[in-house]
Each structure stands twice: as structure tokens, then as C-alpha cells.
Structure 1
């Protein structure tokens, strides 16, 4: 829980990691035309909202004075902002529907082959053969399958194969840059990754798996090879987890919990050697507070 007992942290310890994790976001904000004053307004409201709801003392009403003390924001400003509500990133209807249908196609035994991979689907088919129409109707009957197909073809989420069957395109997994779908997952996935890392920092023992393998001092050729290999491993892990989760959900009693299993791969050319020793190569299972340390060794 926020504000609960855990390791004692000095605020100055947060300066370097905070600047590092915010740098890509600040770059995106500047490109998007969000100025510092606009960001400051969002942060001010968010500080008040988090202090108001996540740092309540047991059996005591939260006051403007205490919120002001916790946040450093003037009490008059706190009074104005309290109750405004934190920024909400609701799931757009098209994102939710698309994700559900794709997940069903990737996981359901009715729409996957013996190897677990999604089957190519004709638009329509007689029972009991699978089809795109049956796939959509298995998830929702609020929208006609043809309307969804036209939308997906236009967005490049599905393509026709040589036999005129529909297959999932790579763009189904990599949303169009700047699209509503991509921006939704920007907020959701980064929130959950940071929330997992923060929970581990705040706790007396790591609660969430939040780890990474990293190598420095590589040639561009090897970096690209490792990135491609990592992509393949990541997709296999996600597809396997999705299939198992989909099957388990069929018999699970509905509740109010959620889980997000994410994997990321990142590679870049390091131009500032202060962040990486020249020629250093290291493999490390550690990212943030790990559940344990798995050193992959080092080579020169």
C-alpha cells in the first residue's frame, strides 16, 4: 500500500533514476507540443489527488493542510484542486473490442492449430469450420463481423493470404504510431511497469517480477541479432501466457483483479560513454529491485 512501511529512502536518491526514466517521456512531450507549464498543471493536480487518496491516516479525515504538507503545494491551491480527480485513461471501445477479438483468435482452441498458432480464417464457413465471422460473434454481437473486417483491413490488422483467407498481420501487434490504440497502451503498460518497480522499491521484499537481461559494448550487428532473437522469444512467451490465461478464464469466477504480463526489448547506440564503460560487456538478471540475481557472466 502507498505510504506503508518499507525501506527508508532519501529523496535525493530518486533524482538520478527519476531523470533517467523521465527523459524519453519529456522528449515525447516536447514533440507533442506539451510545454512544461502544461505538464506542471497535470503534475500539480496529480500530486494533490495521490496525497488525498493514497496517504490517508487511519480513522482520520484527510485535510487540506496535510495534503499541502505532503505535496509542498499551497493550501489554497490544494483546496481548489481537491476532488478534481486524477487523469483517467479509459479504454477506448475500439481498443477493447480489437484486443478481445485478437486474444480469442490467438488463444481459443477453435481458432488455433495443433501448434498453437492462429489459423488462417475464411470470412464465412459452414459449421463446424472456423471463420472470421464466427470469431467475431464468439466475442461480441454488438457489431457486424463485416464492419469489423472492413475496419481491420483498412488498419492493416489482417491481410489475405494466397487462398483468400484472413491472417493476422504484424501491425496487429504493433499499433500505428500515434494512433489511439498505441497511446492507450503507452499509458497502461508504462503505468504497470513503473507500478511494479515502485512496489518492489517500497516493499520489504520484491513482490513483482521486474527484471531484464542487458549487455553493453556490443557491435551493431550483434545488437541487431540479439534484438531479433529477443523479439521471437518474447512473442512465444506472450502467446503461451495468453493461451493459458484464456483457457483458465473459461472456468474462473469473475472478480475485480487484473494482471498485465509485459515484455520489452530496447537497443540503442550509446554516444555518451558516461552511462556505459567503454568496451564493457555484462549480462545481468537485475532490473530495479529483483527477486534474485542471475549473472550471465562477462566476456571481453
Structure 2
């Protein structure tokens, strides 16, 4: 949401500026939603729905509003931050109070995730020390377990969701809580953290290039279509070879820089270089 003071200033200078700003905001939202399509799929596959995600976004918008207020040197009042972030003033007051008490405003994440029903069912299952295999209905059953948590969702719907997430399996009228090895969980967590870091760095580079004209970060891609699967495989192998050579040379140069900067008090910066490839069937 645009700050009223800024919007009025644009409008007083030239009405066309206000129209241009509104068009830019619409374009930004459209581009953001294109990115969100993939993130939404990631979230849903991981058992995170709209309610959990939207609630977890509130602190992020609050922090972004604080940063923007600092950038434009605007006084940070509840009303101004509410306009910038698009949040209700009571949310702004809550976050500011937490900051004044030196508490993190990210604490909502655990609470929001705890509201996820499949997660609560597993937690209750373990808390009650039930067997890993229980009946679908009856005493100490899956149905009874779900009803202890919610009466708004049908146990069968919760069961289907938990089966989709591979949290449980169903066979012969019994529900089994799935056990995953710690290694599998660690590997998946590490892959997700790596993806998150790579995407964040890529976005930072691209957004910096959009909003800052004094410096430019490398942020390029090559797109080629009308290819056969054989050609795709050939280019995929080539891209891996090129990356191996590039990363090797880059790390050699980086090690030389590390040695050179070892005693430099200004050596407080970091750099990240990445590459990706993806192929898909083009829509006709």
C-alpha cells in the first residue's frame, strides 16, 4: 500500500506520475505472483496452507515497512507503518511492543505451524504414547485422536491429507504412523536450506539491479526452445561440465583473495556465485 504523503506528492507534481506508480505496483504484484506459484506448490507439498503462511508473512511485512521508512526518512508511527505494510494498526502496535521488550517478532512462526492440524495430530499421537499402529475408528483410534484436536474437519479428510504428506499409511482398517530416518530428514532440510539461500541471493541481486543504478550484479540466463530430449540431455551434460570448470577456477581465485585479505580489517564482505538449469515442455 502506498504512503499517502508520497502519493499526494506524486499527484501534485503530475497526475501521470501517480498513474505510472500505480501501474508499476500492479506489474510488481503480477511478477511476484508468478514467483509465488512455485512457492505455493512447495508449501502445499510440505503441508503448509494459506492460513499458516499468511500469518507468518505479517512480521516480514512489518520489517520491510521499517526498512522502507528508514530509506525514505519517514517518521515511524503506527499509522505510517500500517500504510506501508498494509497491516492493521493493532498488529503494528503488537510488534513494536515486542521490540521494545527486546523480544523477537518471529515467535509467531511456531504458533502458526502449531495450528497445522496434521502436525497437531502427530504431536498428540506421540504425546499420548499410542502405538505406531492404531485402529481407524473406535477406542484409542485415529478418529478419536483427530476429534480431540478439532471437530471442524472430518477425520477422513485429515487422514487423506496426512497420507498425502506421507505421515501415515492405511491398511486393513488400521493407521500406521510413518517413521523416517534422521538422515532422510537432515538431507531434506539441508536441501531446502540450500534452495532458500540460493533463491534469496538471486532475488537480492535482481532486485538490487532494478532499484539501484550505481552498481550491477551478475544476473543473467539463457533460454533456448524448440529442442528434442536428446538435445536437452546434451546441453544438460555440457552445462554440468562448464559449471565444474567455472566453479573450480572461481574457487582458486577466491582462495588467492582470502590469503591476500587475511589481515585486512575491511575484509568483511561475502560473495556468492551460482548457476541453475531447468527444462520443461513448452505449451503449444
Partner of 2:281: 269
1:221-251 deviations in whole A, cap 9, x for unaligned? 1112111111110121112111210121012
CA RMSD between the two structures: 2.8
Distance in 2 (alpha carbons) for counterparts of 1:233 and 1:176: 31
The answer to whether 1:248 aligns with 2:257 is yes
SS in 2 for 1:17: helix
Distance in 1 (alpha carbons) for counterparts of 2:237 and 2:186: 20
Determine which structure has greater relative contact order: mean sequence separation of CA pairs < 8 Å that are 6+ residues apart, divided by chain length. Answer: 1
Q: Which has the higher helix share?
A: 2
* 8 Å contact from structure 1 (residues 49, 85) kept in 2: no
Task: Give, in angstroms, the shift of residue 85 of structure 1.
Answer: 4.2
Aligned ranges for residues 70-85 of structure 1 at < 5 Å?
A: 70-82=84-96, 83=99, 84-85=104-105
Partner of 1:18: 32
Instruction: Provide closer, same or farther for how the CA distance between residues 203 and 53 of structure 1 changes in structure 2, counting only shifts above 3 A.
Output: closer
1:180-205 deviations in whole A, cap 9, x for unaligned? 32222122111000111111111236
Q: Which runs of 5 or more structure 1 residues have no equivalent in the other structure? A: 1-6, 88-154, 156-174, 274-300
Aligned ranges for residues 183-202 of structure 1 at < 5 Å?
A: 183-202=192-211
Partner of 1:258: 270
Task: Give, in angstroms, the shift of residue 216 of structure 1.
Answer: 1.3
Aligned ranges for residues 165-244 of structure 1 at < 5 Å?
A: 179-204=188-213, 207-244=216-253
TM-score with structure 1 length normalisation?
0.54
Task: Give, in angstroms, the shift of residue 40 of structure 1.
Answer: 0.4
Distance in 2 (alpha carbons) for counterparts of 1:176 and 1:241: 32
Q: How many residue pairs end up in the alignment?
A: 181
The answer to whether 1:36 aligns with 2:45 is no
Instruction: Provide closer, same or farther for how the CA distance between residues 11 and 60 of structure 1 changes in structure 2, counting only shifts above 3 A.
Output: closer
Distance in 2 (alpha carbons) for counterparts of 1:29 and 1:57: 32
Distance in 1 (alpha carbons) for counterparts of 2:71 and 2:275: 36
Distance in 2 (alpha carbons) for counterparts of 1:22 and 1:12: 15
Instruction: Provide closer, same or farther for how the CA distance between residues 260 and 54 of structure 1 changes in structure 2, counting only shifts above 3 A.
Output: farther
Partner of 1:288: none
1:98-120 deviations in whole A, cap 9, x for unaligned? xxxxxxxxxxxxxxxxxxxxxxx
* 8 Å contact from structure 1 (residues 68, 75) kept in 2: yes
Task: Give, in angstroms, the shift of residue 56 of structure 1.
Answer: 1.5
Instruction: Provide closer, same or farther for how the CA distance between residues 32 and 202 of structure 1 changes in structure 2, counting only shifts above 3 A.
Output: same
TM-score with structure 2 length normalisation?
0.57
Task: Give, in angstroms, the shift of residue 16 of structure 1.
Answer: 3.1
Partner of 2:62: 48
Distance in 2 (alpha carbons) for counterparts of 1:57 and 1:213: 34
